[in-house]
Structures are given as structure tokens and as C-alpha cells.
Chain A
């Protein structure tokens, strides 16, 4: 049972444009949703989170949107920069335990 799904394994975006990464979930008990970024040979790095009682959280170039009725969240990166090229994981948290999706590889094209 895959509780968190990232249906796009990869995404390519032109530098300066908007990157939109999507995530669906099935577990209604998640209390936070998080996005992590991972470079090769490094551990995941926290990017941004949103409480399950909110619908939007913004931090600089990164905005996360949560649609609870659709059980869907998305991460918007504006403007996209070459350093944003990485694998992005969304995750839901319940009792301090993270359940991750399978990741989306974002490539920013200069």
C-alpha cells in the first residue's frame, strides 16, 4: 500500500521558469507534509513543510500547496535555478514517522 505517490519520475524545466512537482497521498492521518531535496551521495535535505490544517506555505522561491479534499500537494519553485536540479521527495508525517514518495528527478535546463 503506497500511501504517498509521486507519479512523475522526472521533470525538465527551463531555467527561470516555474517548476511544479506533484504528490498524492491516501493517509488522512498525516499531520504534516514535507518536501525534501536530495543530491547524489548526500542525505535528504529539508526544503519546506505544511501543516495539514493549512493550504499554503511559502518560503522564498518555494511554495507548497495542500488540497486536502483531493489528497494532493504540490511544490512550486519560482524562478527555477540550475542548483535546483536534484531528486525531490514528498513525505507525510504521522507520530514523527515519515512516509516518503518515490521521488521526482528535477532537471533545470540552462
Chain B
């Protein structure tokens, strides 16, 4: 049973460019959340997708957008990249049904470097 998979694992962009990160949730999970982890910090919630709609959003600008597909996979898009967007982007999935112990299952992340 594959866990949460993310691609690409590493990428380098320049300021002003756009980036798309991809996530496939764990089998049986229908909710996907995205987190940004800057160096030396804990992960910060970006947004959550359920039934192909953004259900919750953290304190991130509109340059950050996302999408969820019918197979529950998800994309994170960041436009007009800034140096401060350099971070590890983590995708987490949640199983369907009641939110039991609060556990999220994380992928290994996509390391974005903006030059």
C-alpha cells in the first residue's frame, strides 16, 4: 500500500516564475492538505481540499492556489515566486470518515528553491 507520494522531490525556480507541485494521497484517503515548512520552522497550513473544493485556507496569499482531482490527487500552484517561497512543501492526506485521532499522513515533500 503506497503512502502519500509527492513530485517533484526537488526543484529550482527563479523569482517571478510559477511552480506546480503534485500529490497522490494514501489509498482510501479523500482529503488532502498542503503545508509549507521553511528552514528551522514547523510546517504551516496552506489549505485543504475535499471533494475537489478548497475547504479551509491558512494565512497565505492568493498566489498560492490548488486543485483536487476526482481521484483525490492534488496540485499546489504558486505564482509570481518570491525568494521567501523557498521551503519544503508537504502534502498530507486524511482518511475518509470521522477524524479519529487527528493523525495526518505526510509525504516526503517537495523542496523548492527560488533564486
Chain A residues packing against B (C-beta within 8 Å): 4, 6, 31-34, 36, 41-46, 49, 51, 89, 91, 93, 95-103
- Chain A interface, >50% SS class: strand
Sorting the interface of chain B by its residue count into under 10, 10 to 19, 20 to 34 or 35 or more gives: 20 to 34
Determine the distance from Cα of A102 to Cα of B37 in the docked complex, in whole angstroms: 10
Determine the distance from Cα of A89 to Cα of B92 in the docked complex, in whole angstroms: 15
Which residue in chain B gives the minimum CB-CB distance to A93? B102
Q: Which of B13-21, B38-46, B66-74, B76-84 contacts A (4 or more CB under 8 A)?
A: B38-46
What number of A-B contacts does a CB cutoff of 8 Å give? Answer: 65
A43 touches B90 (CB 8 A): yes
Determine the distance from Cα of A102 to Cα of B43 in the docked complex, in whole angstroms: 8
A32 touches B106 (CB 8 A): no
Determine the distance from Cα of A6 to Cα of B94 in the docked complex, in whole angstroms: 25
Complex contacts, B105 vs chain A, CB 8 Å: 46
Asked if B25 lies at the interface with its beta carbon under 8 angstroms from chain A, I say no
A96 touches B43 (CB 8 A): no
- A49 in contact with B107 given A43-B4, A97-B45, A97-B58 (CB within 8 Å): no
A32 touches B109 (CB 8 A): no
- A101 in contact with B42 given A32-B102, A43-B106, A96-B33 (CB within 8 Å): yes
B102 touches A49 (CB 8 A): yes
A41 touches B108 (CB 8 A): yes
In the complex, which of the residues A4, A49, A96, A102 contacts B94, with contact meaning CB atoms closer than 8 Å? A96
Asked if B11 lies at the interface with its beta carbon under 8 angstroms from chain A, I say no
Query: A43, A45, A51, A89 — which one has the most chain B CB atoms within 10 A of its CB?
Result: A43
A43 touches B42 (CB 8 A): no
Determine the distance from Cα of A44 to Cα of B102 in the docked complex, in whole angstroms: 14
